[in-house]
Every structure is written in structure tokens, then in C-alpha cells.
Amino acid sequence: MTRVRVLTRGASRPGFATRLLLAQGMVLVAMSLTAWLVASSVGPGIFRDHLERGGVAHTATESEHVEEAFVDSLLLALLAALLIAILLALAVTWYLSRRVQLSIGRVVVSATEVADGDYTSRIPSPGLGSEFDQLAGTFNALAERLDAAETTRRRMLADLAHEMRTPLATLDAHLEALQDGVRRLDATTLAVLQGSTARLARLAQDIGAVSRAQEGNLEIRVEATPIRDLVEAAHRAISDRYREKGVTLHADVPSDFLVLADPARVGQVLGNLLDNALRHTPAGGSVTTSGRAAGSWVEIWVTDTGEGIEPQHLGHVFDRFYRADPARNRSRGGSGIGLTISQALVEAQGGRITAHSDGPGRGASFVVRLPAATSPEHGSSARRT
């Protein structure tokens, strides 16, 4: 209602085109009057001076008639020229002001639609110069960012609602059983309750991470870093879990391979990939992290001897909460978006991540491709992406 009242008040005032036309008309009238006064006061004297220099002799009456004829013809010609010039200038001003008003009107309409939640609204190029094109481009970019953020928000809420059902149902069922005396608060029940709350906490953390990455709100600090250091750090962080499950963890990365990336973000990606490989590799299997050069890129391979992935599911392993692929089964303890987070983090650094598998039971490989660095002297730079 407030917006309607404001728009109604604004509509009673003269529009931009009317104001510009009135202002241009006032300027033209002032210029015409000035030209008229100057011509009528200066012209006769100049004409008389030229007659005297030319030696043309006239009586006083004849000279007065000649001067009057000159002034009348001059002023009439000037009046006609000024009227034509004013009409042409007003026509051009009206045309331009109308174009500008229509362009501003499109901005107002689109801005109102965006304010009302329609982030698909766009402004076409007005064709009035680089400034207006830049304004339209900036507005459209803003609308696209808002549209992407709104899409991410809706997907995040839908994902949260979908994925929170199981742990919440588990918590509710066990708490109700405790209240009814069906179950006791023993170690098993505590483990189930703690597992469900931990899953909810991990889900909330992962959803926030992937949303920030996909919205471009991550600060990326790029620096030249040896891949071996990144791999060794990731292995140290997860080696205890590998030993507990009986899965062998190998590393085969040359010491001279350098990558231009954010060490913390790459470490997070490797942690997700190693965790995913561990969950889908049975005891007695192995996981190998290796490095390869690929032109101006460096590839980090995480290869396991686990369950593998069916070909029809390879194109979806990075989708959030994709359930058809066994590699995305939430019963193994994952939040279901670890690979999605990894993809977002890698792409935010200008890289690419892909998945490969020869089929069920034949293991899987995840390949992270990042820009190669020639030496550690590249330094570092921070940017928000």
C-alpha cells in the first residue's frame, strides 16, 4: 500500500520528459530574445556605417527608410530562422527526452518487479550511449545475482527440509521411547541420539559451505603451493580413520609439482574426497592420491578400489543429495553434499573436478585439475569469488 501511494503522488508531478522539454524551451526562448535584442540594437548601426563607407548619398528621409527596410527584413528573417530553429530543437529534445524517459521507466518497472520478488526481470539496452548501457548491464547483473541467491536459498531450504526428516524422526522416536519407558538411556541409545545430532550439525555446516561457494561469497587466497604438502596434510588428518577401518592409504605425488590455489580450500576438497573414498572402500582395500602434469595444469587423482559407480550415475555424483548413485548413500554417514562442496571449491579457484569409474566393484577415481605454478615465488593474492 505504501508503494502505491508513493507512485500515485509521483504521477501527479511533471515527468522527466516534460521537465526537460520545458527547460529546453526556456533556454531557447532566452537565446532567441537575446539574439533579437542584439540584432535590433547592433545591426542598424553597422548597416549605416557601411553605407557611409560606400559613399552612398541619401537624404535624411531616404536614409531612414533604408535603415527601416534593413531592420525589418533583418528581424523578419531572424524571427523566421529562430522559430524554425526552436521548433527543430524542441522536436529533437522531445524525441531524446522521450527515449530517456522510456529507458528510466523500464528501470523503474524492473526495479519494482525485483523489489516484489521477481528476479527474472531484465532491462533491454536503451541504445542511448555507454552510460545507459552500463546502467542496464549493472542492473541486470544485480538481478541475476539476486535470482541466483534466491534459487540457492530455496534449494537450500528444500534440501534441509528433505534431509532433516530422517535424523529428526530418529530423535523423536527415541525420545518418545525414553518417555514411555520402552527404551533406557544406555550407551546404545546415547550413541543413536548423538549420531543424529551430529548428522544435523554436519548437514547445516555443509549446506552453508556449498551455498556460499555457489553464490560466489568465498574468499580465495591463491598461492603457489607444492601438491605433496597438501596431500600429506590431508592424509595426516584422516589416517587414523583409515587404520581403524583397515583401508590402506597411499600417496604418489612428485615433490616438484606446484599448484596455484588456496591451500585451505584444496585441503578441504582432498578431505572430502578421501572421506568419500573411505566410506565406499571395504576393509582390505586401498586409496591412492597421485599427482600428474597436464600442460599448464596439475591433476590430483584420488583413486580407490571400492564399490565403483555405474556409468549412468557418473554425471550426477556432484549433484546435491543425489541418491541413485551408491556413492551418495547417506546411510554411510555422509551429509550428501561433500562432493558438491568439492566441485564448488575447485571451480571457485578456476579448476575442474571430474569422476571416473569402470563400473560397480571396480573402484572410482576423482580428478581435481588446478592451474600449475612454475615456482613458489609466484606469491599469493586474495580475491572474493
Same domain, 92 and 187: no
**Alpha-carbon distance 342 to 294, whole Å?**
20
Q: Name the residue range of residue 207's domain.
A: 164-213
Cβ pair 339, 317 in contact under 8 A:
yes
Cβ pair 356, 243 in contact under 8 A:
no
Same domain, 200 and 224: no
Between 7 and 82, whose confidence is greater? Answer: 82
Q: What is the distance between the terminal CA atoms of the chain, rounded to a whole angstrom?
A: 38
- Does the residue 140 lie in any domain? no
Mean pLDDT, range 48-59, rounded to an integer: 61
pLDDT tens figures, 275-322: 889 989 999 999 999 999 888 999 999 999 998 888 888 887 887 666
- Does the residue 273 lie in any domain? yes
Highest mean pLDDT among 6-15, 49-58, 165-174, 323-332: 165-174
**Alpha-carbon distance 56 to 242, whole Å?**
118
Same domain, 243 and 303: yes
C-alpha dihedral sign at 244, 245, 248, 253:
negative
pLDDT tier at 376 (50, 70, 90 boundaries)?
very low
Cβ pair 255, 227 in contact under 8 A:
no
Q: Of 196, 213, 230, which closes a domain?
A: 213
Res 377 pLDDT > 60? no
- Closest-CA residue to 214 (of 142, 151, 275): 151
- Does the residue 372 lie in any domain? yes
Q: What is the pTM of this model?
A: 0.52
How many structural domains compose the chain? Answer: 3
